[in-house]
Amino acid sequence: MMRGMEASAAHPTEAMAARGAQKMFGPYPAVVVDWHDGDTVHLNADLGFGIHIEAPLSCRIWGINAPELSTDEGKAALAYALEICPVGTEVTVLSHGWDKWRGRFDGQISLPDGTDFGARMLEANQAVPLTGR
């Protein structure tokens, strides 16, 4: 152990959780495979160290709620998502961990121009803010 460094049995993310801090992972480069709806995207991701996930991963966009696909508004939200972030787009994803429904994770998507996908959906009135995860 280095001098002046305290030993800790807890993993850094466990220590963050104990302090009430939000766990985040990434950012990771990823490619959009497809969109399920206006707030769920499927991605192939590069986790670094030669680890590439091409399963693809299902990502619920952090902080927004788009209308359901069964509505005209939901179809419009999906169309707008595809317009600003088409299949094949190289994005950056910051994970907030597993979604409450599991099987997907909550994540922020940065578009190639550096803008936040969720913010763009909110600005275009294609989604509403989602809080209380």
Predicted pLDDT of residue 131:
78
Q: How many CB atoms neighbour CB 77 within 10 A?
A: 26
pTM for the structure as a whole: 0.81
What integer pLDDT is reported at residue 22 of this predicted model? 67
- Establish if 85 belongs to a structural domain: yes
54 occurs within a structural domain: yes
pLDDT at 3: 38
Indicate whether 103 belongs to any domain: yes
Ranges of residues in the chain with a pLDDT under 70 are 1-22, 132-133
By residue range, what is the domain housing residue 68? 21-129
**pLDDT at residue 132, rounded to an integer:** 64
* Predicted pLDDT at 15: 41
Model pLDDT, residue 100: 83
For residue 61, tell me if it sits in a domain. Answer: yes
pLDDT value at position 16?
40
Give the CB-side neighbour count of residue 108, counting CA atoms within 13 A: 15
pLDDT at position 128 is 97
Decide if 14 is inside a domain. Answer: no
Q: Residue 49 corresponds to which tokens in the numbers above?
A: 């160290």
Number of structural domains the chain divides into: 1
The neighbour count for residue 68, using CB atoms within 10 Å, is 12
Is the link from the previous residue into 112 a cis peptide, with omega within 30 of 0?
A: no
Q: Residue 104's domain is classified under what CATH number? A: 2.40.50.90
Confidence (pLDDT) at 62: 95
